[in-house]
Structure 1
Amino acid sequence: MLGLLDRTAQLTNLKRDTPYPEPLACDGALEMTALAATLLFAHGQTTERTVAAAERLARVLGMAVKVLPYWGELIVKVDGAPVSHMVPAKPLGVDMGRVLAVTRVIDQICHGELPAGAARSALESAGRLPPASTPRFTLFAAIGAASLGMIFGTLDAASLLLIAASAAIGALVRRCLSGFSHDPLIQPLCAALIAGVVAATASRFQLTGTTTTLVAFCPCMVLVPGPHILNGAIDLARTRIALGLARLTYAGVIVLLICAGGLFGFTAAGGNLAIAGPSPPVPLIIDAIAAGCAVASFGTFFSMPWRLLAFPIAVGMLAHMARWALISLAGGSAPSGALVACILASVLTTPVVDRLHLPFAAVAFCAVVSLMPGFFLFNTATGLVELVSIGPAAPPALLTSIVANSTTAFLIIMAMTFGLILPRMLYEHFWPSAA
């Protein structure tokens, strides 16, 4: 009997000394932490900020955890105890409205403004926030594609209307498909297919080769998964190799489907493939205004609240003006212009997104979306298709064009990635408390 009492006392003291809650409380805290991490991870928050927010929430709930993110799942593991919780999670979407709402709920819990009993329902409600309405989504898809057309040198009204109409139809199709299938690959493929068909039809009305190419690829440009590319590059830089490669592979598959859909639609509708020449330069004021419109469009795609759109629009316009000045006045190259513009955008964006609890990759990509080398990627894909069709008799100029376009596209993407990530990581290194 005395031994049983001693054992009971030891267990009571052990329970009092442990830093973890009671078993039921521990399970509830694990589930809530996993839910918050899943919502952030799945809707575009960077991996580092997702882990930091989830571990902060767990500490407030009374336990120390480690959040281990992988492609397809998240594991929340209690430090020093064989207790963990695994949930399925894939970072397929980008929704700044939901990220902002989830982070706000976490802040309310941590500041004692929201009782733990109501926290789960609040998190679930934040994760169910609707995306941008279909009319807004469609309108801004048209505006964004037409703005990209202006940036790349198309200023005649007929071509811009074709680009806008193609992008609007693609946006409506994407929204309709989202009601039938959750496959994230079908939507960009079908939208790109529509863009190719519209461009092939337009090519019969005496449009130049460059204009036809812009009509084809500008609606495709609004489909580019830039946040996934940036988040993947950030994960690689932080040695999360498997997750980073998975993100980049996912983004690469989408880009391939966009190119394939656009080219298939173009050829199926009877268009004649041809590599387009360089686009003419546009005046600074048109370039800056069009860049601002493109930023607003991508902010809409990522469900950014109206009140927050002004900041990335201003950053995007400033970044574009810096690029325009470097290329037009100083004679710089497209990759160097992209590097300077992205460094400026990252320096301006990094401290603000952390204060507002917004996903860095989505906001930063919004600001520099029009710098993506869609023109060079589309020309590369067109050249490869032409090379296959001609065979061994292909002229050397075609091979040179393919190499030049693909190399330029690669250098621009690398310059954008480096320019956006470097200031961000330096900021987190030197001011970790502010990040």
Structure 2
Amino acid sequence: MTALAATLLFAHGQTTERTVVAAERLARVLGVAVKVLPYWGELIVKVDSAPLSHIVPAKPLGVDMGRVLAVSSVIEQVCHGKLPVEAAQSALESAGRLPPSSTPRFILFAAVGAASLGVIFGALDTTSLLLIAASAAIGALARRWLSGFSHNPLIQPLCGALIAGVVAAAASRIQLSVASTLVAFCPCMVLVPGPHILNGAIDLARTRIALGTARLAYAGVIVLLICAGGLFGFTAAGGNLAIAGSSPPVPLIIDVIAAGCAVASFGTFFSMPSRLLTFPIAVGMLAHAARWALIYLAGGSAPMGALVACMLVSILTAPVVDRLHLPFAAVAFSAVVSLMPGFFLFNAATGLVELVSIGPDAPAALLTGIVASGTTAFLIIMAMAFGLILPRMLYERLSPSPV
């Protein structure tokens, strides 16, 4: 039973530390002292009082807050004597079979989320937003269709990005939109594996080097496939690659509302129960308002704005996710997804493709643009990881552990 609970939490996005703590707590209530050792691909549940260990296959590939919440609820009920031990096994198995968000809801919120990101990045004309929404909706439908044929987690983001590139190139060729770059990369942004990046960074911070490295490598492969799929689809359909220029700042009220819509979308992607969406939406809107004020009123940089916004999100969500038994990485990333430097990553990837096609005659400005975009993206990602992890780890350090 302990191994099953740990496997379900680990496989569906709960942080490693909380997975270990919850599983070992359940084992103590069952009268057994165990130590849970997590690795990529397996969990080892070792009995302290005997030379026994149970190895179960487990890969942390998914993010499903509904299942994590259900499993955590079963553990809490057992620990407080509200659920008989005999019924716990079947309750855990039922929690592991909970369905994800329905396909119509998934498609709708994919469209809403991508269009919201388009607004945040400066695509305010109706045609561009409709193209972004339609591209994301088609990609979401294709991803759900593919999930019925293959459990490979890499195929879906690749195909979603490929569709986004093709739609953007077609729109560019028939001159439907002047923001073809945003039409291409905003639907790709909804594919970014943020919780895996954050969980990997947390594992590294806790010196779980092998597991953290594996998580980040997995997330990195997905990001690489997203970039490759988007760029291939764009060029194969006849689009002309070009590094996008920066857009003028979006008015505060529009920026904040769009951020709230993006949070709701990602909460849906991660199967968060609808009744719990209000909190991350409010936190995400507040964080985006703070970032907007820091950058456009105080003259701060994009990395500094991301750092402050993410620290605010972490401070506000750390105690709440533990109380509600939700995975911190999924909730926190939902609130800050609009801060991810997709614009800079896409520009860097576009510049690299252009550099290869031009060859030795490429202008120096192209190389400096690639370096600037790549460096800015790296600094923003580091600022986000630091801003989210530090308050979280301080809270875990200072808060009492459940008994």
TM-score of the two chains, using structure 1 as the length reference: 0.92
Does 2:269 align with 1:313? no
CA distance in structure 2 between the aligned counterparts of 1:42 and 1:76, rounded to whole angstroms? 15
Deviation at 1:206, TM superposition (A): 3.1
The aligned runs of 1:136-285 (5 Å cut-off) are 136-206=105-175, 211-285=179-253
Deviation at 1:118, TM superposition (A): 1.3
Structure 1, residues 380-428: CA drift from partner, whole Å, max 9, x if none?
A: 0000000000000000000000000000000000000000000001111
Does 2:33 align with 1:64? yes
Does 2:1 align with 1:42? no
Q: Cα–Cα, structure 1 residues 434 and 335, in superposed 2: closer, same or farther, change >3 Å?
A: farther
- Give the aligned partner of residue 67 of structure 2: 98
Q: Which runs of 5+ in 1 are unaligned?
A: 1-31
Does 2:60 align with 1:128? no
CA distance in structure 2 between the aligned counterparts of 1:111 and 1:208, rounded to whole angstroms? 58
Q: Is contact 2:303-2:383 (8 Å) kept?
A: yes
Deviation at 1:207, TM superposition (A): 5.8
- Give the aligned partner of residue 46 of structure 2: 77
Counterpart amino acid of 1:184? Answer: P
CA distance in structure 2 between the aligned counterparts of 1:41 and 1:363, rounded to whole angstroms? 16
Structure 1, residues 252-285: CA drift from partner, whole Å, max 9, x if none?
A: 0000000000000000000010001012210000
Deviation at 1:434, TM superposition (A): 7.1
- Give the aligned partner of residue 292 of structure 1: 260
Deviation at 1:338, TM superposition (A): 0.4
The aligned runs of 1:111-126 (5 Å cut-off) are 111-126=80-95
CA distance in structure 2 between the aligned counterparts of 1:351 and 1:114, rounded to whole angstroms? 25
Q: Is contact 2:132-2:186 (8 Å) kept?
A: yes
Secondary structure in structure 1 of the residue aligned to 2:129:
helix
Counterpart amino acid of 2:47? Answer: V
Q: Cα–Cα, structure 1 residues 376 and 392, in superposed 2: closer, same or farther, change >3 Å?
A: same
Q: Which has the larger radius of gyration?
A: 1
Q: Name segments (4+ residues, structure 1) moved above 6 Å.
A: none
The aligned runs of 1:394-413 (5 Å cut-off) are 394-413=362-381
Q: Which runs of 5+ in 2 are unaligned?
A: none
Counterpart amino acid of 2:391? Answer: P
Deviation at 1:80, TM superposition (A): 3.1
Counterpart amino acid of 1:73? Answer: E
Secondary structure in structure 1 of the residue aligned to 2:249:
coil
- Give the aligned partner of residue 380 of structure 1: 348
Q: Is contact 2:34-2:46 (8 Å) kept?
A: yes
Q: Is contact 2:171-2:177 (8 Å) kept?
A: no
Does 2:332 align with 1:371? no
CA distance in structure 2 between the aligned counterparts of 1:286 and 1:208, rounded to whole angstroms? 21
Q: How many positions carry a matched residue from both structures?
A: 403
Deviation at 1:115, TM superposition (A): 1.3
Structure 1, residues 171-208: CA drift from partner, whole Å, max 9, x if none?
A: 00000000000000000000000000000001123367
Secondary structure in structure 2 of the residue aligned to 1:433:
coil
- Give the aligned partner of residue 16 of structure 1: none
CA distance in structure 2 between the aligned counterparts of 1:85 and 1:307, rounded to whole angstroms? 37
Structure 1, residues 274-314: CA drift from partner, whole Å, max 9, x if none?
A: 00101221000000000000000000000000000000000
TM-score of the two chains, using structure 2 as the length reference: 0.99
- Give the aligned partner of residue 19 of structure 1: none
CA distance in structure 1 between the aligned counterparts of 2:26 and 2:399, rounded to whole angstroms? 21
- Give the aligned partner of residue 415 of structure 1: 383
CA distance in structure 2 between the aligned counterparts of 1:115 and 1:321, rounded to whole angstroms? 47
Deviation at 1:116, TM superposition (A): 1.4
Deviation at 1:117, TM superposition (A): 1.4
Q: Is contact 2:128-2:177 (8 Å) kept?
A: no
CA distance in structure 1 between the aligned counterparts of 2:81 and 2:381, rounded to whole angstroms? 44
Secondary structure in structure 2 of the residue aligned to 1:223:
coil
- Give the aligned partner of residue 12 of structure 1: none
Structure 1, residues 106-154: CA drift from partner, whole Å, max 9, x if none?
A: 1111111111111111100000000000000000000000000000011
Structure 1, residues 139-170: CA drift from partner, whole Å, max 9, x if none?
A: 00000000000000111100000000000000
**RMSD, aligned CA:** 1.0
Does 2:374 align with 1:432? no
In structure 1, which of residues 326, 334, 346 is the aligned counterpart of residue 302 of structure 2? 334
CA distance in structure 2 between the aligned counterparts of 1:434 and 1:240, rounded to whole angstroms? 22
CA distance in structure 2 between the aligned counterparts of 1:208 and 1:301, rounded to whole angstroms? 27
Deviation at 1:432, TM superposition (A): 3.4
Counterpart amino acid of 1:225? Answer: P
CA distance in structure 1 between the aligned counterparts of 2:250 and 2:176, rounded to whole angstroms? 19
